[in-house]
A and B are shown apart, each in its own frame.
Chain A
Amino acid sequence: MNRFQGGYAGRILYVDLTDGTIDNRPLPREFAEKYIGGRGFSSRILLDEVPADVDPYSPRNVVVIASGALNGLPMPSASRLVTATKSPMTGALGDSNSGGYFAPELKYAGFDAIVVRGASKEPVYLFIKDGQAELRPAQHLWGCKVHESHQKIVAETNDEDTHVLVIGPAGENMVRYACVVTDKESVGGRCGIGAVLGSKRLKAIAVRGTRDVKIADPPRFKKVIDDYLVSIAGEAWTESLRRLGTPFLTEHRQTLGIWGAKNFQSGIVEGGEKISGEVFRKKFLVKPLGCMACFIRCRRYSAITAGDSPFYTKGPEYESIHALGAKPNVTDPETILRAHYLCDEYGMDEQSAGSAIAMAMELFERGLLKRDQTDGQELTFGNGEALLYFIDKIASRQGFGDLLAEGTKVMGEKLNAEYYAIHVKGLEVDAADPRKQETRALTYCVATRGACHLRGNPYIDEFIKPEEAEAYFGTAAVSDINSLEGKGKMVAWSEDWVTLSDLMGICKFAWYRSRDFSMLVKRGLDMVAEAYQAATGIPMTSREMYRCGERVYNVEKIFNLRQGFGRAADYPPERFFREPLPTGPAKGAVLNREHYDRLLNDYYEARGWSPESGVPTPEKLKELGLASDEIQ
């Protein structure tokens, strides 16, 4: 019996792999209203279930797979799935977000979330169908790459409409940054979720559902859909993404000189025009793809059909080109696409893999790594063959690949080269070089899952009008990109607002891409609060909606504080303070420690956290309806 009028399937599936028990529980109403869905569910469940002393690879760690509140409904771009655990990369809260069709399917199968505990002795996979779930043997799938695993499981369920989340060999071998892949193409990349599933010997989760997801007020919901579509139509971002996908950003990064090339030694890529979004479209694009209900269709479906080993792949993303192109300075597009495909096939995060190899390349060039340590490979920047060679070795943890499989933080510790490990809290810096823009640096560093460009939206100051800045952040100075004033508050606000997309299951590209601040507020708060009410029948104002985002962000902060991540963990890698960018349009850009200190203070103050420790004040906790004894 579903106690919700709509939006929710109304059940959570608890699976204990140690004893094989499966428990199907109702979703508590108060929990749903407070944490909404997706990342809200996963973060809160992890806080409750994973104490500070749990090793990420121990059976006591928990993996949460959660749908957003609007997944499964005809809400534009509501396709996103959250997978979360205590991350082996960081020891902090880790989650990854992926698109595709799995999140809605989970709802059709009757569940809002799956909580996986314990560890199985033998490899198994979980099969969920219309309210029922069972564990099935997976010994015969152990060792299979992603495509093969997927196909075999779909065949076993005897239903082509089955959607499957799998880990690849990298997950089985507990490559620290192993990922999860749904339907062969949608990757939940970061934080090593796949490694934890590997440690639990859970090869896959297959899900099939034919049930309705109800809508409390259909006419009202239809109006929201229509308004939302009007709001994203004609956005320049939407058009760029449709044409080139995320690789359209390559040009943007090169023009600003913030590529993070050669392990962040350079802001530009020599020969960057060879790996631009246009090149990938022209050479490899089969067609654009869209996730469930997507009106943007940014996904690339690409192929290399000539030669000995042809393949089709969903990709590349900008992040693929950044991690497997710019960072190791590889400028052959075919090599990048192949490397991307291999990462997906082995089931590992290409951003961390590319970062690890790029770091090793720098160490090799500096003489800190010798050829006898690198399996005899000439590990220099630009060596695409070495890149492909080590992707194989990482997945199987052979030779030097065994160390690369640990990620840059561990590499830095083991090779006594921590300065060259460009990460925050253990997760490698992605997306772009933050030296040019201090708010970007702040966003990366305070992000609750380690370095991440998607936890906030630090670019608001580029387009916010002075009067909007005054109204929202208390000072018109926020509209001045060269001023630090009010920026801490701006970043904090943007984090809470972006968090809501992960609670709803809506893609960030349908969420935060506008050069009109009022539109961002309208789309990301007003319309979504309206959609949530129309879908669920639960009253929700824009203000309460915002509070839900803030509440979840604080829950994540509390999780990390409990793990010992205090103020010091919110700082960028030393390189960004010490080395100005040497060339290109951003030449001379470097972070200023005093500025950063001030930004961080302002940010903590705006959040209602103590400036020394980052601990939320009792007043803040009370305001958010969180008990003050949560931090132990």
Chain B
Amino acid sequence: MAKERIWYVEDSENMDQICSRCRMCELICTFHHHGVGNPYRSRIRVVALGKGVDIPVTCLNCEDAPCVNICPTGAMHRPQPDSMVIVNPDVCIGCGMCVNACPVGAVILDPGEGTALKCDLCNGEPQCVKYCPAEVLKLSGSSQFSKHRMKGFARLLQAQTINTETGLK
């Protein structure tokens, strides 16, 4: 069982399968974990870069996770070798070292509690994946994602490769 995480998967064939910045992932994440409305406590955030580029960003579930390595109390840990890195809030002291160490900004300190918050895959059924209207968030291992990318690239090749000598396309 390879490590799983949430991937942002656009469909190059289908213009409608793209992040539309509705931020439902943010809303549903906070709702699921805290029972309130507040996208700023969400463990996934849609980053708007302008000119129509909007990308949801969340934990990469690194193999050699900087947040785990740096945590001074052991609050940031991986329960099983192939599971998601999670926070034990009882042990977390809110020092923010993990926030500092995370290469993608996927850890925040809860404005309410002060302790670290990050994606925990909602015990196996990530709510952002379930509720994304564009269906661009997927829970999978890296090989499935690679396969998806390969498919896109293969389509591109097929569209561009016309061998006039052999007649092959």
Contacts and interface: CB of A to CB of B under 8 A. Distances in A.
B37 A215 contact: yes
A287 to B, nearest CB: 5
Contacts of B18: 287-288
B139 interface: no
B156 interface: no
Interface in A98-132: 101, 104, 107-108
Interface string B28-67: 1001001111111100000000111000000000000000
Interface of B: 15-16, 18, 20-24, 27-28, 31, 34-41, 50-52, 111-112, 131, 133-134
Given A161-B40, A293-B22, A294-B24, 8 more contacts: A101-B23, A108-B38, A108-B40, A287-B18, A289-B20, A294-B22, A295-B22, A299-B20
Interface in A56-90: 72-74
A215 B134 contact: no
A212 B37 contact: yes
* Majority secondary structure, B binding face: loop
A494 to B, nearest CB: 27
A218 B35 CA distance: 6
B136 to A, nearest CB: 11
Please provide the 3 A-B residue pairs with the shortest distance between their CB atoms, ordered closest to farther.
A290-B22, A74-B27, A212-B36
Interface in A324-375: none
Contacts of B133: 290, 294-297
B16 A222 contact: no
A214 B30 CA distance: 11
Given A74-B31, A212-B41, A290-B133, A297 B22 contact: yes
Contacts of B21: 289-290
A290 B31 contact: no
A215 B111 CA distance: 18
A243 B16 CA distance: 7
B52 A222 contact: no
Nearest to A209: B40
B34 A212 contact: yes
Nearest to B23: A292
12 contacts: A74-B31, A213-B36, A213-B37, A213-B38, A218-B31, A288-B15, A289-B21, A294-B20, A294-B24, A299-B20, A301-B52, A312-B51
A286 B16 CA distance: 10
A592 interface: no
B16 A242 contact: yes
Most chain A CB atoms below 10 A, which of B20, B22, B36, B38: B22
A215 B27 contact: no
A151 to B, nearest CB: 10
B24 A293 contact: yes
B101 to A, nearest CB: 22
Nearest to A301: B52
A7 B3 CA distance: 38
A411 interface: no
Given A242-B16, A297-B134, A210 B22 contact: no
Interface string A230-246: 00000000000011000
Contacts of B134: 290, 297
B31 A287 contact: no
A101 B20 CA distance: 13
Given A210-B38, A212-B37, A214-B36, A292 B51 contact: no
A296 B111 CA distance: 31
A222 B28 CA distance: 10
B125 to A, nearest CB: 13
A73 B37 contact: yes
A166 interface: no
Given A74-B28, A312-B51, A290 B20 contact: yes
Contact of A312 (B23, B27, B34, B52): B52
A522 interface: no
A285 interface: yes
Contact of B20 (A74, A209, A218, A288): A288
Given A74-B24, A74-B31, A294-B133, A287 B52 contact: yes
Nearest to A289: B20
A73 B27 contact: yes
A296 B134 CA distance: 9
A210 B27 contact: no
A291 interface: yes
A211 interface: yes
Contact of A212 (B15, B28, B51, B112): B112
A303 interface: yes
Contacts of B111: 210
Contacts of A213: 36-38
B38 A212 contact: yes
Contacts of B41: 210, 212
B36 to A, nearest CB: 4
Interface string A297-333: 1010101000000001000000000000000000000
Most chain A CB atoms below 10 A, which of B31, B38, B111: B38
